[in-house]
Homo-oligomer: A and B are copies of this chain.
């Protein structure tokens, strides 16, 4: 028996897709992934729901790579790496993001800090062997 409600089927699928993948996909990448299960899903729906999730604090935009925004459903601040060779966006879970940074930023700047992002760019393991 199908237990889950049918309401917001696609909306939930979009969020679930983000939560299960760690690709930090773009809207189009989400669209392509969901097309298999929902062949009639529209790209507009993906954009719409991503914007909604963002305003609800369920999803963050991590960076924009090659002109396209990349999303993440992991809201706890963590460290990212962006490969300039293949445009991959990945987590660096081994690295700590000092909690003190945010407070320090707020104190020294006088601004109201809402979010903190530490991002490295370079070549991933695969690309660094390809690109000498």
Instruction: Give the interface of A toward B (CB within 8 A).
Output: 64, 79, 81, 83-84, 92, 94-95, 101-102, 104-106, 108-125, 128
Contact = CB atoms under 8 A, between A and B. Distances in A.
A128 B121 CA distance: 31
Contact of A122 (B79, B83, B115, B124): B115
A120 B105 contact: yes
Q: Which of A64, A108, A111, A116 has the most CB of B within 10 A?
A: A111
A22 to B, nearest CB: 14
Copies of the chain in the assembly: 2
Given A95-B105, A113-B120, 20 more contacts: A81-B109, A83-B111, A84-B114, A95-B101, A95-B108, A102-B120, A106-B122, A109-B120, A110-B125, A111-B122, A111-B125, A112-B122, A113-B121, A114-B121, A115-B120, A116-B118, A117-B118, A117-B121, A118-B118, A118-B119
Given A64-B64, A81-B105, A95-B108, A113 B122 contact: yes
